[in-house]
A and B are shown apart, each in its own frame.
Chain A
Amino acid sequence: MSFFGFGQSADIDIVLNDAETRKKAEHKSEDGRKDKYFLFFDGETVSGKLNVTLKYPGKRLEHNGIKIEFIGQIELYYDRGNHHEFVSLVKDLARPGELTQSQTYDFEFTHVEKPYESYTGQNVKLRYFLRATVSRRLSDISKELDIVVHTLSTYPELNSSIKMEVGIEDCLHIEFEYNKSKYHLKDVIVGKIYFLLVRIKIKHMEIDIIKRETTGTGPNVYHENDTVAKYEIMDGAPVRGESIPIRLFLAGYEITPTMRDINKKFSVRYYLNLVLIDEEERRYFKQQEITLWRKGDIVRKSMSHQAISAAQRFEGSSNPEKSQSKNAEDDS
């Protein structure tokens, strides 16, 4: 931008090579809006073209270099100035010089590591994006293209049920059971509550899913709890010997996979909270942590080759030998 007369400027535009075939995923932004972004998995190549379009054809554009970066970063809201980049790749597209006409540059970031899932939370954001920059003496021209990354897992080998007896002495004893301790995002929580002793006047019982986002370390640890779901499982007063079933479908709720100590910056954990409420609105509760994980989609013919290999790496097979031999077939 020049203040004197008509300085030359340019619009830059990043276009991915597989924009037609690549799937998009919905992701909620900081202000609550839901937008769609291109979906990538760990190890996939990110390639495309950078279009530099001159604003005033005929005039030259002087620049100090054109580059494109692939960045994965964690941003803590209370510390906005400091971005923690855990992935930072750069490709120089043009050395300092001048452009006499609009130009297109190819770029490819091969088999990029994307170790964590994209996450936008209450106090922290983890995002991946491409950033193209045309460096200039006074002010750079830059453009960002956000992408979304999902991390996939397989069915865990060990997935014990949660079974416990809890209570208040001589007032209330219950035995509760959840069929698993690790659930995928479209799973169902199947369980039951068995009443061994009921000496309080219960009005109803519900199960809440609580998301706890932890940011900061040491003395500055901050937990933010958010009740993601509330589901009433019983209305009315139970008696001793009664068994109340639980069937909670997770697909309808806004949940993410469990994230533990991501890059030593933040964690996102989920808890099931069983709450009993008596006639005087007193609440009796028991919280249990559960692990949530993301299951890869079933392979479909319409998927891109890259997405197919990513999904096949994480399909339901818990046999390590079997999936390794499958990979070898794909790569050949």
Chain B
Amino acid sequence: MSEPAVADTRRLNSKPQDLTDAYGPPSNFLEIDVYDPQIVGVGRNRYTTYEVRMKTNLPIFKLKDSCVRRRYSDFEWLKNELERDSKIVVPPLPGKALKRQLPFRGDEGLFEESFLEERRAGLEQFINRIAGHPLAQNERCLHMFLQEESIDRNYIPGKVRH
């Protein structure tokens, strides 16, 4: 009988790992914080902006450290752009809270503290999920949202090349 009695389970040869690879910083660092809600404007035309700060070492992002202010409708714009142009399933945004915009409420409505905190957390989760997606990282709208001072709604949609 020429067949082996035991299955061949020897290890395959591996390249030995470089110490700098083993103990170096990870090359997948990406953190986005959404915080510091500020109310802008007066009277009926008030709205809230949030600070969106990104820290990363991914080469696809031009700036390794960026800080911009964005409002809820900016997040909605980003979601729509990605749903149209990229092939990804875009995660949901926190709710629009239309009821809170109606008058004669007992509380602060859109500017109620607990609501702002809930919305802030939802927006933070949303943007972190999107920014980590390799296909979303190719879209110009995401880079403009995260790293440019203001969003140019008349921009030309497209992919990022580097």
Contacts and interface: CB of A to CB of B under 8 A. Distances in A.
Nearest to A192: B12
Interface size range on A against B: 35 or more
Interface in A32-51: none
Interface size range on B against A: 20 to 34
A144 interface: no
A191 B3 contact: no
B105 interface: no
Interface in B112-140: 129, 132-134, 137
Nearest to B129: A280
Contacts of A192: 12, 14
Contacts of B26: 198, 237, 239
B58 interface: yes
Interface in B1-51: 1-4, 7-12, 14-15, 17-18, 21-22, 24, 26-28, 30
B17 A190 contact: no
Interface stretch (A53-61, A300-308, A311-319): A311-319
Tell me what chain A mostly uses at the interface: helix, strand, loop, or mixed.
loop
Contacts of B22: 239, 241-242
A259 B27 CA distance: 44
A194 B132 contact: no
Contacts of B144: none
Nearest to A184: B7
Given A199-B28, A298-B1, A194 B7 contact: no
A65 to B, nearest CB: 49
Given A170-B59, A186-B7, 20 more contacts: A168-B134, A170-B60, A188-B9, A190-B8, A190-B9, A192-B14, A198-B27, A198-B28, A199-B28, A237-B26, A239-B24, A239-B26, A240-B21, A241-B15, A241-B17, A242-B22, A315-B1, A315-B3, A316-B3, A316-B4
The 9 closest A-B pairs by CB, nearest first: A316-B3, A241-B21, A243-B14, A171-B134, A241-B17, A188-B7, A199-B28, A240-B21, A188-B9
